[in-house]
Amino acid sequence: MRKMGFDEIWIKWIMGCVSSVTYSLLLNGQPSGFIRPSRGIRQGDPLSPYLFLICAEGFSEMLRKVELRKSIHGIRICRGSPPVSHLLFADDTMVFCKASRKELAHVSDILRDYRNASGQLINLQKSAMFFSKNTGPILRSELSALMAIPVRADLGRYLGLPAENGKSKTELFNYIKDKVVMSLAGWKEKLINQAGKEVLLLSMALTLPTYAMACFRLPEGLCHQIEAAMARFWWGSKSCNDRKIHWMKWSRLCKEKFKGGLGFRSLTDYNLALLAKQGWRLMVSPKCLMARVMKSKYFKDCDFMEARLGSNPSWMEKDHPSGNPDTE
């Protein structure tokens, strides 16, 4: 905290919170003595997330230093793109380096130093190693044994989104529709009036796809299926076969209340708005990592709004606003 510029009084307060934690055990209904934990602050404490971020900043700085010394080499998505050695989001961490014993030894040393300094241990059961197709099976086994971390054939999902997009979009993002349907199905048999249904749709069902729609443009057919599930819930249908009369179409329910609607969202329009927000972020923060990576890949020699689709565009290229005529 001193390296980050925190005041000594603040550091004293925080260390007092960490070092003064004690637990008391109940034996036969009576407290019996106190136990001082070795990990300091208890799990679930309001300070815990902030202290974790401070520790994670130290871990990130350690990785940046070894990358500057060329001890490890981050991944590059194309020639001229900035290297990415690690990505952090809360307690989810991805570290990138070359598939060599030397570089992996540096990563192992950093993890060991971070463990000794912070007391945080790696959960090996929730960790995995992923290699490129050019890495041989013998080297994969050796590096996996060195780190005691199993090898996976794919990355699966990261932060709730699929890490690989080789399949069709409808098939890949169909889990979002299933999640919305399941969340609404749990309330079907319970007594909820229209006001409660409105709050439920606005606070839960319409927010579940938000993160995915901020990164990719979902197929319109999938958006319509999700809206149909929400409309059935609103009008009291218990299943697809149990169809009640829909006295008003969904597009009218999406209008503002002073225009006769209920303020629901059209998922297609909401999706475009979220993608446009990402485009705005690229323009106002051109020095951020995402903007530099995107520029090196998709609009290296021009401005963001002047970028055009290539001959074989990826999903990311087709979905970002400059390549999407609907958001221009």
Average pLDDT over residues 231-244: 71
Of 123-137, 153-167, 211-225, the poorest mean pLDDT is in 153-167
Write down the mean pLDDT value for the chain.
81
What are the residues whose beta carbons fall under 8 Å from the beta carbon of 6, sequence distance 6 or more?
none
65: pLDDT strictly greater than 70: yes
Distance CA 89, CA 110 (A): 18
> How does residue 138 score in pLDDT terms, banded at 50, 70 and 90?
very high
Average pLDDT over residues 243-266: 83
Helices assigned H by DSSP within the chain: 8-19, 48-68, 101-118, 137-147, 169-172, 174-185, 194-200, 210-213, 220-235, 250-253, 267-284, 289-298, 315-319
Q: What is the pLDDT of residue 102?
A: 92
Distance CA 7, CA 20 (A): 20
284: pLDDT strictly greater than 80: yes
Per DSSP, 257 falls in state: G
Q: What is the pLDDT of residue 57?
A: 86
310: pLDDT strictly greater than 50: yes
Q: What is the pLDDT of residue 286?
A: 86
- AA identity, residue 171: E
